[in-house]
Structure 1
Amino acid sequence: MTADRNDEDGRGGGGLTTGEVARRLGVAPTTVRTWDRRYGLGPDAHTGGTHRRWTPADVARLERMCALTATGVPPAEAARMVKSPGPPAPDGPAPVAPPVAAPPAASRRSRAHAGLRLGDARQECKGIARAALRLDAAALEDLLATAIEAHGLITAWTEVLMPTLQAVGRKWENSGERYVEVEHFLSWHVSGALRRCAPPVAADRPGATTMLACVPGENHTLPLEVLAAALAERQLPVRMFGAALPVDSLVAAVRRTGPAVVGLWAQSRTTASRPLAEHVAAMEWGVRGARRKAVVLTLGPGWAGHAVPGLARPRGLAEAVAAVESLVPG
């Protein structure tokens, strides 16, 4: 047990710890240890005789293992392929991790999009994407919680979670809907991670509640879930109504809630409705002589082509949080 603790907290010397390797690959640390114990894919050397440290060559083998298992190759067969020596290079010995032999043309076509195109996104994106592709729930939940804890809600969403979700969406669009299950799987786990990390909703204060809803026809709720969690962190009362709230229900909720702020999310220009935003902004409630209105924030990329005069359109979730903090009495 002592060796494992030292392995995870990074006191073992040069190279990567098992925990660091697991996060990079998007697998659970237990998976890395199982591949080591069962298939002999552990590090080539130990530091100080006890601590397990992984070199770039060690990690390269595991990356090939991940790539093969993600395409459906059984783990035992994938390990055999990773460990089998390739033909020697023209000017030197065989590399430590030789490339996998090219599959038949039909197989190449079916695996053409096996990896997500994440460009220069954070390393966490790649790990989360790999875990989502493998439908590895335990690893995915661990990676999501680690990203949120390390970066905070807004930064984790903007720089890690959203780019990964966008990459999964592109993969789905470009591969004949073969990866719909991956998108649903990742979205569900992101939503769960956001709810687990958010503190309890603050108690309502008269005239201080923020109401969040997607406009009718809009089902992209995750950005609003991030915003709701960020407001809860700041002890600001928030009521979340989620996806595609019908117009009549939206109006009724505004009247019953009496919010200080109403955030209307539109992901697409086809769902953003300028008349709806203007109608909500014009609504009044309260006793005669003390009538009140909510400040309406038009949130999301869908409003880019539907700017509503007189209504704020924060450019991102951090700006939206700042706007609410400036509008809601402390």
Structure 2
Amino acid sequence: MTNDGLSAGAAARRLGVAVTTLRTWHQRYGLGPSRHEPGHHRRYTLEDMVRLQVMQRLTAQGVSPAEAAAWARRAPASSTAPTLPGSPADPGSPADPDFSVDPGSCDSASHDDSAPHAEPAPSTEPVFSTEPAFPTGPAGGGQSIALGVRADPAARGLARAAMRLDGPAMRHILDSAVAGRGVIAAWDHVMMPVLIGIGERYEATARFIEVEHLLSRSVTEALIAVPRPAPEITPRALLAAAEEEQHILPLEALAAALAEAGVPSRLLGARMPSRALVDAVDRTGPVVVVLWSQLPSSGDVTQLDRILAIPHPPLVVAAAGPGWPSPLPPTVTTFRDLTEALRVVSAACR
């Protein structure tokens, strides 16, 4: 930054926000440019930029804009934002153990009026269960994602960032959650509530699929970034989506949780043809096969029967997701949640 300071446009580009967002922060919260020369527009100084960075970081963590602005106005000439009690960056303060979502008493993640109007999209990604992980209900109005009064602060921050289509902020929140809490806790308490909220918003409005796409991509990137076991360790778990099943975020979460536990896996991805899956099982000889179906249209039990009919079938053949019918063959394993999936797959592979 030069001694002359930054224009509003340059400051917005530096922060990765819209100029209208800076204007809102100036008009509503007094976080405007302080350098002024007669006959010229005001310009943002280094101290102004530090305050704006604090504002940006705290709102991304779920702090209300008014409270974040109060912190920012007190910020010294340092780019370090204060740490919130209970946040992943504060190891001395445990997070709230109760993360249940109560759609009957929802609050909406607040949304800056200057941010792009966005809405959730279809295909939420529930945990490994034959029932929805959270009860569903009508989504609230407005440009926001309803999470519930007990929603984790990081989930609220992720919801706000998603509605702004703020990819860098989403990655920061997701990476911090995974690093500070582990894959399963980050999935259960940060990622999944927002994915479900976006799905409910789409069901109510049929708008803003771009929000779900960018959030899903950010979640995938955060999960892929989890370090994998050494390449010389042969994967003994095979993960795949059923035929015509396109939703694989839960499988990516399981692969990341297994990697975090030191267990490698092969993730074949979405829409795996049954014949190709059987060929893969024949070639690699896994001890565990997890087949994910989210929608009833993809939960064809014959896909499981073909794996079970292999001369030397895997030790565990698991049907994961809410798309499978009930009852399933007694030799097929089902998972209640991601924690159980991790436990069963890890035990079989060791």
TM-score range with shorter-chain normalisation?
0.5 to 0.7
CA distance in 2, matches of 1:209, 1:135: 38
Alpha-carbon offset, residue 303 of structure 1: 2.7
Counterpart selection for 2:142 from 95, 113, 137: 113
Would you tell me which structure has more helix in proportion to its own residues?
Answer: 1
Partner SS for 2:240: strand
Partner SS for 1:323: helix
Matched, 1:196 2:221: no
On the 8 A contact 1:24/1:123 being kept in 2, the answer is: no
CA distance in 2, matches of 1:152, 1:310: 31
RMSD across aligned positions (CA): 3.5
Alpha-carbon offset, residue 132 of structure 1: 0.9
Matched, 1:279 2:313: no
Alpha-carbon offset, residue 112 of structure 1: 4.0
Q: How does 1:18-33 map to 2 (within 5 A)?
A: 22=56, 24-26=58-60
Partner SS for 1:199: coil
Counterpart selection for 2:205 from 175, 182, 199: 175
Alpha-carbon offset, residue 44 of structure 1: 8.3
Larger Rg: 1
Counterpart selection for 1:68 from 106, 110, 113: 113
Which amino acid in 2 is paired with 1:183?
Answer: E
Alpha-carbon offset, residue 223 of structure 1: 0.5
On the 8 A contact 2:288/2:315 being kept in 1, the answer is: yes
On the 8 A contact 2:229/2:259 being kept in 1, the answer is: yes
Which amino acid in 2 is paired with 1:235?
Answer: G
Alpha-carbon offset, residue 267 of structure 1: 1.1
On the 8 A contact 1:70/1:114 being kept in 2, the answer is: no
On the 8 A contact 1:218/1:267 being kept in 2, the answer is: yes
Which fold has the larger relative contact order, with Cα–Cα distance below 8 Å and residues 6 or more apart in sequence?
2
Q: Structure 1 regions of 5+ residues with no counterpart? A: 1-16, 56-62, 73-110, 285-290
Alpha-carbon offset, residue 200 of structure 1: 4.4
Counterpart selection for 1:130 from 155, 160, 182: 160
User: Structure 1 length as normaliser, TM-score?
Assistant: 0.66
Alpha-carbon offset, residue 196 of structure 1: 1.0
Partner SS for 2:323: helix
CA distance in 1, matches of 2:144, 2:268: 35
Counterpart selection for 1:316 from 325, 337, 350: 337
Which whole-Å deviations, capped at 9, do the CAs of 1:138-165 have from their partners, x for residues lacking one?
1111011111112210111112101101
On the 8 A contact 2:57/2:81 being kept in 1, the answer is: no
| 2:346 matched residue in structure 1 | 325
CA distance in 1, matches of 2:310, 2:83: 62
Matched, 1:151 2:154: no
Which amino acid in 2 is paired with 1:25?
Answer: T
Partner SS for 2:317: strand
Alpha-carbon offset, residue 296 of structure 1: 0.3
Alpha-carbon offset, residue 237 of structure 1: 2.8
On the 8 A contact 1:258/1:294 being kept in 2, the answer is: no
Residues 64, 42 of structure 1: alpha-carbon distance in 2 compared, 3 angstrom cutoff: farther
| 1:224 matched residue in structure 2 | 251
| 2:11 matched residue in structure 1 | none
Alpha-carbon offset, residue 186 of structure 1: 0.3
Q: Structure 2 regions of 5+ residues with no counterpart? A: 1-50, 85-107, 118-139
On the 8 A contact 1:27/1:140 being kept in 2, the answer is: no
Alpha-carbon offset, residue 297 of structure 1: 1.1
Residues 254, 48 of structure 1: alpha-carbon distance in 2 compared, 3 angstrom cutoff: closer
Corresponding pairs, count: 250
CA distance in 1, matches of 2:77, 2:284: 64
User: Structure 2 length as normaliser, TM-score?
Assistant: 0.63
Alpha-carbon offset, residue 210 of structure 1: 0.4
Alpha-carbon offset, residue 176 of structure 1: 2.8
Partner SS for 1:305: coil
Alpha-carbon offset, residue 293 of structure 1: 3.7
Alpha-carbon offset, residue 128 of structure 1: 0.4
Residues 292, 311 of structure 1: alpha-carbon distance in 2 compared, 3 angstrom cutoff: closer
Q: How does 1:284-323 map to 2 (within 5 A)?
A: 284=311, 291=312, 293-303=314-324, 305-323=326-344
Matched, 1:186 2:215: yes
CA distance in 2, matches of 1:49, 1:277: 61
